[in-house]
Amino acid sequence: MRILAVHSSRFGHTANIVASTAHRLREHGHDVDVRPIGAIRAWDDTAQAVLVAASVRYGVYSPRIVSFTRRNAERLARVPSAFIGVNLSAIDADKATPQTNRYTKRFLASTPWRPDLVQLFGGELNFPLYNPLDTALLKPILATTGRPWGPDVRVDYTDWEEVDAFADRFADYAASRRAED
């Protein structure tokens, strides 16, 4: 099956999660095309399943991702589709579901798209990549949640085994939908 994987990734972490998911989906025999959202100009008619992934920055997922899902909601409904959301809130188990992760709840309420699968992952902190403004703005935000802050801080909060498990679930789901068609 040909799977289009579209992502919005400011610092590359969501892109890494998508790359890992794509690798696993290929092991299931799928043909996966990974593209940044900025490269998508029109709907790809050859896509038989679609994965959309985005990270949260200052409280929101990328507006480009929101508009892609709004514009293509009807087409997305015709193929198996999944959403991967990446943010720091999702590190906490009680904020890691579409119902309890406020960014994801808000995103899903803002688009007619109803992904078949929704998966949240904790993101990373990687201060060597951030500019001085982001570094300064993150200080009070991280202080309220007790996360580390500082120019040398690099922490990966993603459960990479769960990334593989999610890819397996999406592959199974896509195959079962295909069997029904």
Tell me which residues touch ligand FMN (CB under 6 A). Answer: 9-14, 55-59, 86-89, 123-124, 130, 134, 138
Question: What is the smallest separation between the CB atom of 150 and ligand FMN, expressed in angstroms?
Answer: 13
Question: What is the smallest separation between the CB atom of 133 and ligand FMN, expressed in angstroms?
Answer: 9
CA distances (Å), origin 85, targets 71, 128, 181: 19, 23, 28
Question: What is the smallest separation between the CB atom of 86 and ligand FMN, expressed in angstroms?
Answer: 5
Q: Which is nearer to ligand FMN, 28 or 57 (CB)?
A: 57
Q: Which is nearer to ligand FMN, 149 or 173 (CB)?
A: 149
Question: What is the smallest separation between the CB atom of 115 and ligand FMN, expressed in angstroms?
Answer: 18
Non-local (6+) Cβ contacts of 149 within 8 A are: 127, 138, 139, 142, 143
Q: How many other C-beta atoms can be found within 10 angstroms of the C-beta atom of residue 46?
A: 9
Find, among 80, 145, 166, the residue nearest to 116 by Cα. 80
Ramachandran sector of residue 123 (left: φ over 0; alpha: ψ -120 to 50; beta: rest): beta
Nearest-CB residue for ligand FMN: 123
Per-residue tokens: 3:
């799977």
